[in-house]
């Protein structure tokens, strides 16, 4: 059975067809679940929410994505960068309206989901392009650094909070003492060291012990579970030794279902979250799509950008309705899912099932998990996302884009993620508009003895003093029309002998309303100077549209089918 | 002396050179002053400010523009649409921070001025293109209608206020009675009728009396002064008869100089006005530039977009520092200035001088000017800006752009000007991105026996089954790269015999960082399928940049100078 059929057609042709993929899916789900247990708690804390919000984010949303998404290996759930965005978005809103952060998070999840569903309906997946490469890399690096720094106080046992450097600084200033809590520091520091050592040596060590490379890699990736288990064991065995170490606290699936539903939030909360929902949605989609596409390419599968919007939309609506934080496709778990051999999206269903069972049976033990260990997990996970190599590449490639990447990273660290993203998207558009605002054009003349017209600067061509022939090489749209009309107006002003200007438009694919008004303005200015404007070589759809816009009423001159026709008709001054 | 030299070179070559233009400038300034007296009061009221803010806006800002601007006839000062934008921007900020509206208006003026000056320094005049034709027309029509409707309560003597239809409706609902004030209605209604009649018949009447067409038109334009004078006279002659009619109130230039300077405003006010300053600046610049350009074209003069930014920037900073509301170039007064024969920007200096004298001597009389008469002036002035013709033209030309225009107009009426403009600019960009996100490309083959490669769909060409040659006809930028890489990836997937893909890029002028990453991604995907990616016919700057980005390290295939070279090198599968 070809795995590609799972993505191109409805995922199941019935139980008999699925039976073959079942063992692989179940194995992958078991491995992902082991990784998901600490991550779901850690990312909920990162978002400023109780741990249960992260657990719920790994249940229903996975099921929703499995039903509607298009990737066979994408692992949907809580994700570090999105968790930090969530924290920054819900904090001020919860405070301003006196509503619990958990309730605000549900509203945010629903709004992100609705944004995705509307984007899918309107085929707006193309807008993902708004997050250009410099903005994305600058943002991910800045956010990862900020998340890593924000974990340091938890590792030291200090009650310092903040999502940006100024916030962390102000919070530290407000502390009466900056003396670390010894037991927490011991717990957090040893967890960090152990996690780092396992990340570095577990896989090579297992390989040296004779495991196959693939098995060694998989077991190596699950090594963090060792640290989690060890820390829980030490807390439970010697509670007195660890007095004052902050713990994750009891997690009960029953409690998880007792939440205030999002529709109980005041309208003002929904309104205030509208812009954050757009930005978070953009980031969540672009990140998830990149992961899904890179994994699909390795198996020769295809990803449908629109079905990804549907899948992520359904997943986030499900998150909001089931008491969970916003979700998207995450890099680390998806890689593990892929490497573990998941064959279909139904591996996600098994993951949700196993996680539910794990939480129901192990909830009591997880209550003893120290927050410092979770902080150590987050610290190493996000530091692996930092890749300063991108900055030097970008800087070498283009100073402006390198500068944009650095600006977005610094803005993320100092101002927060929303202003940084807004700034980045805005500057990308400004750069693009500035580039496209100067369309290419050339004065043309006739290659002697032919009907062919070419650039006067590159070819030996014939011209006439009273006839100016200009070829425009770009669609006329609002970004470039004013400039083009101004430039041609000035050119005619310099050539006092000119009586006719022919615009040759074989490469003009589109003229928008601003372009139409620009042409009308050029026509009027030229007429006042005694110069007649003509058009030639219009493409069919462009000509139709200009006629609908009343071309005959305003154009002083004529429309020629070919430039040669214009040349012959306008031989006399 | 040629008038063009006034704009192309510094405006004055000394007194002897200016003497010739002096009489015409002085006459034009006198005529404009007559128009400016009621307008400066009316637009200040429209902005929700005391009348003196409008008077001050017609003094120093005019001088500042005359020194730095580039148009010889643009009349800078208070303008209806900008006044309404000002009212909507300053109202909520003044309320939120408990600061007077006058002080907030000064901060806004300074910020708009600084935005202009920064834009001039960074050569951002190209951003004026952001206000595309559908957005501009939709906005001007919607705002004019909203302003006209907001005058109706003042004409009826009812204390109903609001800048949008819902605000007017809510304010009307809150009134205990909607009984018009009889004396105000009489005053306002007769002023409106008289103004309308004069506008319609004054010029033809004066022509019939034997005046030259130009003189008749100028005197006709000044006819509103008759109504202003008559209303002041009736108030002063029979004050008892007009009890309860709201009057403009005393205007004293001495009081005008006793204002709290903008730097006394709290920092939060400056911050809150940042976005409004950007939007107001955009509108003010685009409107003013359109007026300046259309008048310059009639005289064969040139406008410098950058010097316009400088002139308007200086004018608004001057406004903020002299107790005035934000200013820009206005349509109606500029036309009068032009028709009255103003020769140089120094006509503005004379206008400022005459207005100062008029206010110093006539301030006592103007105190008796009924607000209902000012409302009637505004009502007719803005209704002349409404042009529904634009909507039908746009709708016929392109449904999407017509829809955009209507949406912006409705948003202006129902939501206010800021959301309407933000929505319009955003939708314009979305439409543009959607259009540019699908670059043109063509599979090419060799014209038999030549070295020329053409589109396989249009020409009889030779191709090889293992070689796919694709010509890309657009720069690779963040808006289109993902789509192009996906499309080419799918094409290769369908052609199982293909072993080499050559991208022919003679028309690619630029590859941004996102484009580079798109090419790398395509290269990696193809390599995993056993297909080699090659590039050909790169332009010089593009090739240089790709090499700086490490092309040799990642490209699986080769870079060919010409497509023919690729064709010969890749003959064997």
pLDDT tens for residues B345-390? 888 889 999 988 888 888 778 888 888 888 888 888 888 878 888 8
**Would you call B132 and A428 a contact, using CB atoms and an 8 Å cutoff?**
no
* Coil, strand or helix at B7: helix
If contacts are CB pairs under 8 Å, which of residues 501-540 in chain A contact chain B?
A: 509-510, 512-514, 516-517, 521, 524-525, 528-529
Select the highest-mean-pLDDT range: B186-190, B302-306, B440-444.
B186-190
The CA distance from B2 to the nearest CA of chain A, in Å, is 15
For A436, the closest chain B residue by CA position comes to: B475
Tell whether the model's pLDDT for residue B6 goes beyond 50: no
Hey, what are A94's tokens? 């919860």
Q: Return the residue in A4, A126, A291, A519 with the most chain B beta carbons within 10 A, the one to mutate for interface testing.
A: A126
**A278 has pLDDT over 50:** yes
Q: Which of A556-560, B242-246, B247-251, B452-456 has the highest mean pLDDT?
A: A556-560
Query: Among candidates B340, B291, B297, which has minimal Cα distance to B311?
Result: B291
Q: Where are the beta strands (DSSP E) in B451-561?
A: 453-455, 467-472, 500-504, 532-536, 559-560
> Which chain A residues touch B436 with a CB distance below 8 Å?
436
Alpha helices in B387-536 (DSSP H): 389-397, 399-414, 417-436, 481-494, 513-528
Contacts of B293 in chain A (CB under 8 A): 521
pLDDT at A267 over 70: yes
* Predicted pLDDT at A163: 79
User: DSSP alpha helices (H): ranges in B157-303?
Assistant: 165-173, 182-208, 213-221, 224-237, 253-256, 267-272, 274-299
pLDDT tens-place string over residues A310-348: 999 999 999 999 989 999 998 878 888 887 778 888 888
Q: In 10 A of CB A434, how many CB atoms?
A: 16
Q: Do B549 and A397 touch (CB under 8 A)?
A: yes
To the nearest whole percent, how much of chain B has pLDDT over 90? Answer: 21
CA atoms within 13 A on the CB side of B358: 22
What band does A13 get if pLDDT is binned at 50, 70 and 90? low
Reply yes or no on whether the pLDDT at B325 is more than 90. Answer: yes
Question: How many Cα atoms within 13 Å fall on the side-chain side of residue A349?
Answer: 13
| Residue B277 Cα distances to A455, B115, B134, B135, B138, angstroms | 44, 7, 22, 18, 20
CB within 8 Å: A133 and B510: no
B14 pLDDT tier (thresholds 50, 70, 90): low
Question: Do the strands B559-560 and A441-446 form a parallel or antiparallel pair, or are they unpaired?
Answer: unpaired
Q: Does position B8 have pLDDT exceeding 60, yes or no? A: no
B479 touches chain A (CB under 8 A): yes
Gap between the Cα atoms of B329 and B289, Å rounded: 8
Residue of B480, B524, B545 with shortest CB distance to A398: B545
List all residues of chain A from 413 to 452 with a beta carbon under 8 Å from chain B. Answer: 428-437, 440
Q: Considering only CB atoms, which chain A residues are within 8 Å of B479?
A: 126, 129, 432
Answer whether A127 sits within 8 Å of B433, measured CB to CB: yes
- How many residues comprise chain A? 573
Q: How much is the mean pLDDT over chain B?
A: 85
A528: confidence class by pLDDT, cuts 50, 70, 90:
confident
The more confidently predicted of residues A477 and B300 is: A477
In this predicted complex, what is the ipTM?
A: 0.73
Tell me, what's the pLDDT at A8?
A: 36
Average pLDDT over every residue of B83-109: 90
CA distance A421 to A415: 10
Instruction: Report the alpha-carbon angle B420-B424-B426, nearest 5.
Output: 120
Which residue bears the tokens 């692996």? A384
Compute CA distances B248 → B33, B50, B238, B363, whole Å: 18, 9, 17, 10
pLDDT band at B541 (very low <50, low <70, confident <90, very high): confident
For residue B215, the model assigns a pLDDT of 80
Helix (H) or strand (E) holding B162: none
Residue with tokens 């670390």: A180
Tokens of B78: 């208070």
Q: Is B10 exposed, middle or buried (CB count within 10 Å of its CB: 0-12, 13-18, 19+)?
A: exposed
Nearest CA in chain A to B542: A397
Give A539's contacts (C-beta < 8 A, 6+ positions apart).
A505, A506, A508, A509
Nearest to A300 among B297, B514, B529 (CB): B529
Mind telling me how many Å the CA of A431 is from chain B's nearest CA? Answer: 10
Please tell me the predicted confidence (pLDDT) of residue B200. 86
**Assigned token pair, A320:** 């909001």
Element spanning A274, H or E: helix A274-299
DSSP secondary structure letters along A277-322: HHHHHHHHHHHHHHHHHHHHHHHT----HHHHHHHHHHHHHHHHHT
Q: Mean pLDDT throughout B470-488?
A: 84
**Bigger pLDDT: B422 or B558?**
B558
DSSP string, A19-38: TTTHHHHHHHHHHHHHHHHH
* Contact residues, chain B, for A513 at CB < 8 Å: 132-134, 394, 397-398, 401, 405
Burial category of A571 from C-beta neighbours within 10 Å (exposed 0-12, middle 13-18, buried 19 and up): exposed
User: Mean pLDDT over residues B409-414, rounded?
Assistant: 92
Digit-coded pLDDT (tens) for B43-86: 998 898 988 899 899 999 999 998 899 888 888 999 988 998 99
A482 in reach of chain B (CB within 8 A): yes
- Please report the residues numbered 357 through 416 in chain B whose beta carbons come closer than 8 angstroms to any beta carbon of chain A: 393-394, 396-398, 401, 405
Best mutation target among A415, A442, A478 (most B Cβ atoms within 10 Å) is: A478
Residue B5 has pLDDT above 50, yes or no: no
What is the mean pLDDT of the segment spanning B512-531? 89
Q: B537, B562 in Cβ contact below 8 A?
A: yes
Contact B297 A525 (CB under 8 A): yes
Identify the burial level of A457 via C-beta atoms within 10 angstroms of its C-beta, where 0-12 means exposed, 13-18 middle and 19 or more buried: exposed
CA distance A130 to chain B (A): 7
Average pLDDT estimate for B24-42: 85
Separation CA B261–CA B266 (nearest Å):
12
CA distance A106 to A261: 8
Distance CA B60, CA B349 (A): 9
Q: Average pLDDT, stretch A65-84?
A: 89
- Report the distance separating Cα A260 and Cα A392, nearest Å: 48
Average pLDDT, chain A: 85
* Of A109, A87, A69, residue with least CA distance to A302: A69
Say yes or no to pLDDT of A11 above 50: no
The tokens for B434 are: 């959607």
Task: Give yes or no for residue A532 having a pLDDT over 70.
Answer: yes
At A243-256, the pLDDT tens digits run 888 887 777 777 76
CA distances from residue A67 to A32, A345, B221, B462, B540 in whole angstroms, order as listed? 19, 8, 70, 46, 49
Q: What are phi and psi of B530, to 5 degrees?
A: 80, 25
First to last CA, chain A: 75
Considering only CA atoms, give the Rg of chain B: 31
- A4-8, A497-501, B177-181, B395-399: which has the minimum mean pLDDT? A4-8
Count Cβ–Cβ pairs < 8 Å, chain A vs chain B.
141
Residue A109 pLDDT: 95
Q: Is the dihedral of CA A87, A90, A92, A94 positive or negative?
A: negative
Residues of A in contact with B435 (CB under 8 A): 475, 477, 510
Q: Which of A124, A391, A397 would you mutate first to test chain B, the one with the most B CBs within 10 A? A: A397
- B297 closest CB neighbour out of A435, A477, A528: A528
Residue A466 confidence (pLDDT):
93
| Cβ under 8 Å to B: A residues 253-312 | 293-294, 297-298, 300, 302
Task: Give the tens place of pLDDT for each residue, A150-189.
Answer: 888 888 888 888 878 888 898 888 888 888 888 888 899 9
Mean pLDDT of B533-544: 88
Collect all residues of chain B within an 8 Å Cβ-Cβ radius of residue A524.
Answer: 297
Reported pTM: 0.69
**Paired strand residues for B441:** B472
Find the mean pLDDT for residues A120-132: 81
Q: Determine the Cα angle at A313 with ends A310 and A319, to 5°.
A: 140
Mean pLDDT across B94-110: 91
Mean pLDDT across A137-149: 88
CB pair distance less than 8 Å for B132 and A478:
yes
Residue A275: what pLDDT?
85
User: Which pair of structure tokens corresponds to residue A274?
Assistant: 């509208």
pLDDT at B316 over 90: yes
Query: Residue B30's Cα: distance from chain center in Å?
Result: 29
- Judge contact between A329 and A286, C-beta under 8 A: no
Q: Which residues on A lie below 8 Å from B440 (Cβ)?
A: 509
Give A 159-198 residues with CB within 8 A of chain B: none
Helices (H), A415-468: 417-436
Contacts of B66 (CB under 8 A, 6+ apart): B11, B345, B346, B348, B349
Q: Which two tokens stand for residue A366?
A: 């997880």
């Amino acid at each position: 059975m070809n795995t590609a059929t799972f993505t191109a057609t409805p995922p199941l042709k019935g139980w008999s067809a699925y039976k073959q993929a079942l063992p692989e899916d179940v194995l992958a789900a078991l491995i992902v679940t082991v990784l998901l247990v600490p991550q779901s708690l850690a990312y909920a804390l990162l978002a400023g929410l109780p741990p249960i919000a992260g657990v719920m984010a790994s249940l229903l949303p996975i099921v929703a994505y499995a039903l509607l998404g298009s990737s066979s290996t994408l692992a949907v759930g809580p994700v570090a960068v999105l968790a930090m965005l969530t924290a920054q978005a819900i904090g001020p809103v919860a405070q301003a309206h006196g509503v619990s952060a958990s309730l605000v998070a549900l509203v945010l999840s629903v709004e992100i989901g609705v944004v995705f569903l509307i984007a899918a309906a309107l085929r707006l997946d193309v807008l993902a392009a708004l997050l250009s490469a410099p903005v994305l890399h600058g943002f991910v690096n800045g956010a990862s650094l900020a998340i890593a720094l924000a974990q340091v106080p938890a590792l030291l046992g200090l009650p310092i909070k903040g999502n940006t450097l100024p916030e962390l600084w102000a919070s530290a200033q407000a502390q009466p003492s900056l003396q670390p809590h010894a037991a927490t520091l011991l717990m957090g520091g040893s967890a960090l060291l152990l996690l780092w050592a396992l990340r570095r040596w577990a896989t090579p060590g297992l390989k040296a012990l004779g495991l196959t490379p693939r098995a060694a890699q998989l077991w190596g990736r699950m090594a963090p579970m060792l640290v989690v288990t060890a820390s829980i064991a030490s807390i439970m065995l010697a509670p007195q030794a660890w007095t004052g170490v902050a713990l994750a606290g009891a997690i009960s699936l029953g409690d998880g279902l007792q939440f205030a539903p999002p529709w109980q939030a005041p309208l003002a909360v929904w309104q205030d979250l509208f812009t954050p929902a757009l930005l978070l949605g953009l980031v969540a989609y672009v990140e998830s799509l990149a992961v899904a596409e890179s994994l699909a390419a390795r198996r020769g599968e295809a990803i449908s950008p629109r079905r990804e919007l549907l899948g992520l939309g359904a997943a986030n609506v499900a998150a909001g309705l089931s008491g969970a934080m916003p979700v998207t496709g995450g890099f680390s778990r998806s890689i593990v899912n892929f490497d573990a051999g998941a064959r279909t999206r139904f591996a996600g269903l098994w993951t949700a099932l196993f996680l539910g069972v794990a939480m129901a049976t192990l909830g009591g033990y997880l209550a003893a998990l120290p927050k410092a260990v979770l902080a150590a997990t987050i610290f190493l996970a996000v530091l692996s996302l930092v890749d300063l190599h991108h900055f030097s590449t970008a800087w070498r490639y283009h100073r402006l884009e390198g500068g944009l990447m650095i600006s977005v990273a610094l803005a993320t660290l100092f101002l927060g993620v929303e202003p940084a993203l807004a700034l980045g998207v805005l500057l990308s558009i400004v750069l693009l508009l500035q580039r496209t605002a100067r369309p290419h054009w050339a004065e043309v003349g006739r290659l002697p003895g032919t009907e062919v017209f070419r650039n006067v600067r590159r070819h030996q061509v014939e011209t006439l003093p009273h006839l100016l022939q200009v070829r425009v090489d770009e669609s006329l749209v609002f970004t470039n029309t004013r400039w083009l009309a101004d430039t041609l107006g000035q050119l005619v002003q310099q050539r006092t002998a000119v009586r006719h200007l022919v615009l040759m438009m074989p490469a003009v694919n589109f003229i928008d309303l601003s372009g139409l008004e620009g042409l009308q303005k050029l026509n009027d200015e030229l007429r006042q100077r005694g110069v007649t404007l003509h058009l030639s070589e219009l493409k069919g759809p462009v000509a139709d549209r200009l006629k609908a816009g009343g071309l005959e009423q305003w154009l002083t001159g004529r429309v020629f089918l070919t430039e040669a026709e214009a040349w012959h008709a306008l031989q006399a001054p």
